[in-house]
Amino acid sequence: MFPKPIEKQPRAAQITYQAMLPIALLLWLGPLLAVALFSVKPAADFTNANYWGLPSSFEGAVNYGQVFFNSDMPRYLLNSFLITIPTVIGAVALSCMTGFALGIYKFRSNLWIFFLFVAGNFVPFQILMVPVRDLTLELGLYNTKTGLVLFHIAFQTGFCTLFMRNFIRALPFELIEAARVEGISEVRIFWYVVLPLMKPAIAALSVLIFTFIWNDYFWAVVLTQGAESQPVTAGITSFNAQFRAAYQLMSAGSIVAALPPVAMFFLMQKHFIAGLTLGAVK
Amino acid sequence: MHSIYKRTTAALAMSVALAVPAYAELTGELRIFLDTSNPAPRATMEAMIDRFAAEHPGLEIETTVIDREAYKTQIRNFLTADTPDVATWYAANRMKPYVEAGLFEDVSDLWAEPEIAENLASTKGAMTIDGKQWGVPYTYYQWGVYYRKDIFDELGLSEPTTWEEELANCQKIVDSGRACYTIGTKFLWTAGGWFDYLNMRTNGFDFHNQLANGEISWEDDRVKQTFANWKQLIDMGAFIDNHQTYSWQEALPFMVNGEAAAYLMGNFAVAPLREAGLSDDQLDFYQFVAINPDVELAEDAPTDTFHIPANASNKEAAREFLRFVVSADEQTEINNGSNLGQLPVNAKSSVDNDKFLQQGFNMLSSNSPGGVAQFWDRDAPAEMAKVSMEGFQEFMVKPDNADRILAKLERARQRIYDN
């Protein structure tokens, strides 16, 4: 199933691999590098069509200074954290419980309820746009961080439940039976037996959901407006002036906005990769 | 003692406009919504509001700045619920939906005050619907031809004033291997600027307005004449190639690099052109040439405005704020080069000592007898503006399709204005 390691390939294949890898990497990272380059350019470079050359002067300090001290960017960043963290906690907490219920108890319609959660993942979320907006308006949650958090929790719980239920299914059922024989209540089994075993799954899922929610743009634009509630992904567009798009500031803002999930990825790399594969094994 | 001192300083700080009505101390809350979300204009507006607040210590002012694009959709919400006392918007047809829905306060009383009536006459038309005024302007800017003077000098050209001179100039520029005009029509509105000028020069301001209001057929011979004039330029290669792929900003490098000699644009093009290294010796401005000598010259000068929502709660303070905004001193201050860098709306204000602002101010105050238009996408209803600007763009790429495009616009007109 796995490809043969590159060291065991014929010499020609090894050389091709070594030659192609940097090219592929450059293609892959090209747009990112361009954004990084744009973020240290002066505005004049865009009017001079100096899109890909070296910056005519280094304006990194100026651009990033503008982003941090002369715009709503810090506010947007704070909003992002205030939206992402409660969502992660909420979605993971709920899915631990639903996963436990669906993974441990055998009752009629167990599978159907599970399918219901799974099916939610297959709904293209764009079709929910208008109803969800109307719903948040009716509930008075339009343009609030709470509204966004509640929606994200509701929507992410589907995927999280799938993930958690499969993980709990894979746990040795004997542990739970042993606990039941000891006469321990179900709540305590959940809390003292299952939850500690779920720690790797919780870590992996938290990292995954953090990046999902942080990078969300669609719902941020649909459900919130303005600096008091919008997260950073939507806030970047505020660098579009009445007349001009400040490409250099947008680039600097994008880099800043991308840092937390990237940092999260590097710090929690192990969990992240575990997260991508955990749900796959039953 | 304290209060006397306060009143004296306030009186000193007060502009002439404010000195007229003797008012009681304003109290309560004043909520102001702004769409000036970018750092520089935002700082300008906030500084202005601070000066207003200093004059009215009894007033509790709350300012909300909303991203300019988001503002355009949010205004529908906040004019009906949770309404501010003052809100920014745009003049002419762009305010019409809110005026007709009864969401903007009639401020004709302000315009009747001599201070405003005498000094803001040039923009009164843009603020008037059904004979009443619905807000006050706070800034506007000119449109016209920004050109590379050094290229004109090299080719021995001078600023044209007639269509024949324009065509002769352009032929020489094309012969020298350049394009006469840079333009980026990717976002359509730049082509709307060309249509504004060509149609206003061919058929006049009133005709142009009637067309924007759907009163004239797009297949009228006079409209066809406008497009015939346009086609002359297109056919001779006056515009840069592939303009439909550029935004207006992406079209700037052609002028900076000398591949194109001029740009029909608003005054906001000057700042990036200067940043890119063009000196004021290289860059100059002229008014769009006359085409039909029988029609008066009219100009595009988009105007940004302040309004009082009909549902506002502190209209007295809001009116005072509007008076403050249009006062000669404030107009001089907020429109100067270090702030908005645009034209003041008050005739008693002084214009920044900037070459282009000076020329624009002179042009609009003395050489625009036909009237002042707001720009095609503000004058025509939104739906018609969109369809027609798509047509203009297509026409600029495929000028031979003119008849088919005009037929399509005519069908759109019958559909859009009927409702």
pLDDT digits (tens, 9 = 90+) for B21-38: 445 578 899 999 998 877
Q: What is the mean pLDDT of residues B333-338?
A: 90
Among residues B323, B311, B230, the alpha carbon closest in space to that of B17 is found at B323
Quote the Cα angle for B326-B327-B331, to 5°: 70
Asked whether this chain's domains B2-141+301-349 and B143-300+375-416 adopt the same fold, the reply is yes
The more confidently predicted of residues A221 and B231 is: B231
What letter does residue B62 receive in the DSSP assignment? E
Q: Taking the CA of residue B174 as centre, how many other CA atoms within 13 Å lie in the half-sphere pointing to its CB?
A: 16
Determine the pLDDT at residue B251. 95
Q: Label residue B8 by pLDDT band (50, 70, 90).
A: very low
Residues with Cβ within 8 Å of residue B193, at least 6 apart in sequence: B143, B264, B265, B266, B300, B375, B376
* Rounded CA separation B360/B374 (Å): 15
Is the pLDDT at B45 greater than 70? The verdict is: yes
Is the pLDDT at B10 greater than 70? The verdict is: no
Distances, alpha carbon A103 to alpha carbons A59, A162, A164, A194, A212, in Å: 56, 10, 8, 11, 25
AA identity, residue A147: G
Q: Label residue B292 by pLDDT band (50, 70, 90).
A: very high
Contacts of A244 in chain B (CB under 8 A): 249, 268, 271-272
Among residues B303, B340, B304, B320, the alpha carbon closest in space to that of B85 is found at B320
The ipTM (two decimal places) reads: 0.70
Of A42, A49, A227, the CB nearest to B257: A49
Written as six digits, the tokens of B386 are 């969109």
Q: Label residue B41 by pLDDT band (50, 70, 90).
A: confident
CB B379 within 8 A of CB B373: yes
CB A276 within 8 A of CB A203: no
Contacts of B74 in chain A (CB under 8 A): 225-226
* Rounded CA separation B308/A143 (Å): 23
Domains of chain A, each with CATH number or no CATH? 6-60 (no CATH), 69-278 (1.10.3720.10)
State the count of interchain CB pairs (< 8 A) between A and B. 63
Determine the pLDDT at residue B13. 45
pLDDT in single tens digits along all 282 residues of chain A: 567 787 888 888 889 989 999 999 999 999 999 999 999 999 888 888 888 888 888 888 999 998 888 788 899 999 999 999 999 999 999 999 999 999 999 999 999 999 998 888 888 888 998 899 889 989 999 889 999 999 999 999 999 999 999 999 988 899 999 999 999 999 999 999 999 999 888 988 998 899 999 999 999 988 887 778 889 998 887 777 667 788 888 999 999 999 999 898 888 887 777 766 665 544
Q: Where are the domains of chain B?
A: 2-141+301-349, 143-300+375-416
Asked if B74 has any chain A CB less than 8 Å from its own CB, the reply is yes
A39: β partners: none
Please name the residue of chain B whose CA is at the shortest distance from the CA of residue A224. Answer: B70
Written as six digits, the tokens of B229 are 């004039």
* Rounded CA separation B306/A82 (Å): 34
| Portion of chain B with pLDDT greater than 90, in percent | 72
Q: How many CB atoms lie within 10 A of CB B380?
A: 27
Q: Is B25 exposed, middle or buried (0-12, 13-18, 19+ CB in 10 A)?
A: exposed
Determine the pLDDT at residue B24. 59
What letter does residue B104 receive in the DSSP assignment? B
Determine the pLDDT at residue B11. 44
Are A48 and B277 inside 8 Å of each other by CB?
A: yes
Mean pLDDT of chain B: 90
Determine the pLDDT at residue B202. 96
Are A226 and B70 inside 8 Å of each other by CB?
A: yes
Q: Label residue B305 by pLDDT band (50, 70, 90).
A: very high
Determine the pLDDT at residue B23. 53
Instruction: Give, rounded to a whole angstrom, the gap between the first and last alpha carbons of chain A.
Output: 18
Determine the pLDDT at residue A142. 86
Contacts of A241 in chain B (CB under 8 A): 38, 68
Determine the pLDDT at residue A54. 87
Determine the pLDDT at residue B16. 42
Q: Label residue B231 by pLDDT band (50, 70, 90).
A: very high
Asked if B266 has any chain A CB less than 8 Å from its own CB, the reply is yes
Q: Is A70 exposed, middle or buried (0-12, 13-18, 19+ CB in 10 A)?
A: middle
Are A47 and B253 inside 8 Å of each other by CB?
A: yes
Determine the pLDDT at residue B293. 94
Contacts of A226 in chain B (CB under 8 A): 64, 66-67, 70, 74
Written as six digits, the tokens of A74 are 């810090």
Please name the residue of chain B whose CA is at the shortest distance from the CA of residue A48. Answer: B253
Are B67 and A238 inside 8 Å of each other by CB?
A: yes
Question: What fold characterizes domain B143-300+375-416?
Answer: D-Maltodextrin-Binding Protein; domain 2 (3.40.190)
Question: What fold characterizes domain B2-141+301-349?
Answer: D-Maltodextrin-Binding Protein; domain 2 (3.40.190)
Is the pLDDT at B187 greater than 50? The verdict is: yes
